[in-house]
Amino acid sequence: MPRTAKDEDQKSHIIQILTGLFVLAGTIATAYFGFKAQNNSVTIPIMITQTAESRLETRTAEQGAAAFNNQIATETLAALSPTEIFISTVPAVSPPQATAAPSLCCLEGWDIFSSDGASFAPALVEGCSNISVHDLGIYTSGCNITFAKDDINQSSVYGLSMPIPHNAKIEVSISISNLIEGEFWVGFSNEVDPQSGALIYAMTPDPGGVSVYLNNIFSINARYPWADMGEDVGWVRGQPRRYNFTIQLEGNKVSTIVNSTSFAQSTALSVNRLFLGFHAKPHAIGSYINATIVGLKITNQP
């Protein structure tokens, strides 16, 4: 049957509708996949791109600043003559040095003092011209110095003296086996004689402890009982009492620790000399002492 004009119009209309449907479907599909891609993929590339750009800008700025600083430094150094370029150095600080204290193996180097004017002749041995003073009961043995004397019936002070730095750390250890009617002294004074204007740490008879005399040996300034000091070193009755002194000198200021017990800081009239010795104080019976200096170290302080 031959096609009429009406048939041609209907066919054209159907083709237009189908074309519109295909276009609509394509638009919907494009919108859908575009939306999904925007939510799942777009953010990350943007962040990476922004970070890369930021790093590039920062690095470029840093390189520019470094180049500028190098240029300024180069121009500045070029403008200076060789005599105008200085290099300063900080001097190295030397550690404190130990002072050569007199040996405990020999009495050479010590000044020997006796308040009663007793005469004493040194005992001579090979390599040491003064190893002991028998009249005062002072002996060296095994590089320790021992004070051993009994039945002392006169009040007196005797011992060993040496000059010391104004700023120093002094470490001295003393073992006392017996002490009756007297005191063993660690003292600081201006003269060999420690009885005037001195700071004295006096180890006392049973029950032990330390008395402090400041500028007057007849008036006690402070007392420190043995109980605390003995506990610090695990002392057991019947054993010698061990006193480990650590003394810090700063001019005339003296800070002291015995074993682990800290003493109040003292201000002495003078600390030019160190004295180690015995103060006999006989009463109803004579004085007796058996004490040994078992260690001594003196270190200069800045």
pLDDT digits (tens, 9 = 90+) for 36-45: 445 543 333 3
pLDDT computed for residue 132 by the predictor: 85
CA distances from 57 to 49, 50, 54, 60, 67 (A): 12, 10, 5, 5, 15
pLDDT, average across residues 31-35: 51
Distance CA 224, CA 57 (A): 73
Q: What is the DSSP letter of 231?
A: H
Domain parsing of the chain, residue ranges:
5-79, 98-300
CA angle, 101 as apex, 95 and 102 as ends, to 5°?
165
Q: What is the pLDDT of residues 170-199, one digit of tens each?
A: 999 999 999 999 999 999 999 999 998 899
pLDDT(277) > 70: yes
**Weakest-pLDDT range from 61-70, 105-114, 169-178:** 61-70
pLDDT(147) > 90: yes
- Mention every residue, 6+ apart, whose C-beta is less than 8 A from residue 68: none
* 147 vs 15 pLDDT, higher one: 147
**242 touches 128 (CB < 8 A):** no
DSSP 23-68: HHHHHHHHHHHHHHHHHHTSHHHHHHHHHHHHHHHHHHHHHHHHHH
Candidate CATH numbers 2.60.120.560, 3.30.1330.20, 2.60.40.10, 1.20.910.10; the one for domain 98-300: 2.60.120.560
Distance CA 83, CA 213 (A): 61
pLDDT computed for residue 14 by the predictor: 63
Give the long-range contacts of residues 255-260, CB within 8 A, separation 24 or more. Answer: 256/201, 258/201, 258/210, 258/224, 258/229, 259/228, 259/229, 259/230, 259/232, 259/233, 260/229, 260/232
Helix (H) or strand (E) holding 22: helix 5-40
pLDDT computed for residue 185 by the predictor: 98
Which sign does the torsion angle of CA 180, 147, 273, 301 carry?
Answer: negative
pLDDT computed for residue 47 by the predictor: 39
Q: What are phi and psi of 189, to 5 degrees?
A: -150, 175
Q: What is the pLDDT of residues 209-266, one digit of tens each?
A: 999 999 999 999 999 999 889 887 888 888 999 999 999 999 999 999 999 999 999 9
pLDDT computed for residue 28 by the predictor: 60
pLDDT computed for residue 108 by the predictor: 81
pLDDT band at 87 (very low <50, low <70, confident <90, very high): very low
Pull the structure tokens for residue 182. Answer: 């007297």
